[in-house]
Amino acid sequence: MLLATTTACSEIGELEVSFKLENTESQRRLIAELEKRGMDIRVDESQRVWFSPQYEELVYSVSQGIMSSAEADTNLFRYADSKHTKIHKEKLISKNVPFEVEILRGERYIVFHRRNRWIWQEGDRMVIEEKKQELQITRSP
């Protein structure tokens, strides 16, 4: 999860620190938690949180808790049969979905951003149908 911090002077000349978690849901949770704690914060149009430097440790502490419990921004998958992983990979390519291939413990995995999980679901349905057809063929007399 990406984290961005900035220190700057506010419009009234006071030093402010800003903080933004690049995961939208995590940033929403951070803002809600800081407001719940009664902190004097300002949220700009990009959802970046601005606050007094005296609260920096508290904000970092709250954000660490949120980041450690947040869902990952990427998904990693593979099928036992590499031909099914290839089918899924072709689906992602056909939809122009960016992805990476990582090799873990000698196995190839496809890594893609969570925002594209609906396309993963389409590919998974294709693989399930392929597996069903293979089972029918092997069971046919």
Q: Does domain 3-69 fall into CATH 2.40.50?
A: no
In tens, the pLDDT along 66-109 reads: 877 766 677 777 776 777 778 778 878 888 888 888 887 788 88
Strand 107-113 to strand 99-104: parallel, antiparallel, or no bridges (unpaired)? antiparallel
Determine which helix (DSSP H) or strand (DSSP E) holds 134, and give its type and residue range: helix 117-139
CB of 110 within 8 A of CB of 99?
yes
Taking the C-alpha atoms of residue 56 and residue 18, their distance in angstroms, rounded to an integer, is: 9
Per-domain residue ranges for the chain? Answer: 3-69, 74-139
Determine the residue type at 38: G
In tens, the pLDDT along 109-134 reads: 888 777 777 776 777 777 777 777 77
In tens, the pLDDT along 11-52 reads: 544 667 777 777 788 889 999 999 999 998 989 888 888 888
Look up residue 138 and give its DSSP letter. Answer: H
In three-state form (DSSP H/G/I as H, E/B as E, the rest C), the secondary structure along 81-130 is CHHHHHHHHHHHHHCCCCEEEEEECCEEEEEEEHHHHHHHHHHHHHHHHH
3-state class of 11 per DSSP? Answer: coil
Confidence of residue 9 (pLDDT cuts 50, 70, 90): very low
Determine which helix (DSSP H) or strand (DSSP E) holds 73, and give its type and residue range: none
CB of 97 within 8 A of CB of 72?
no
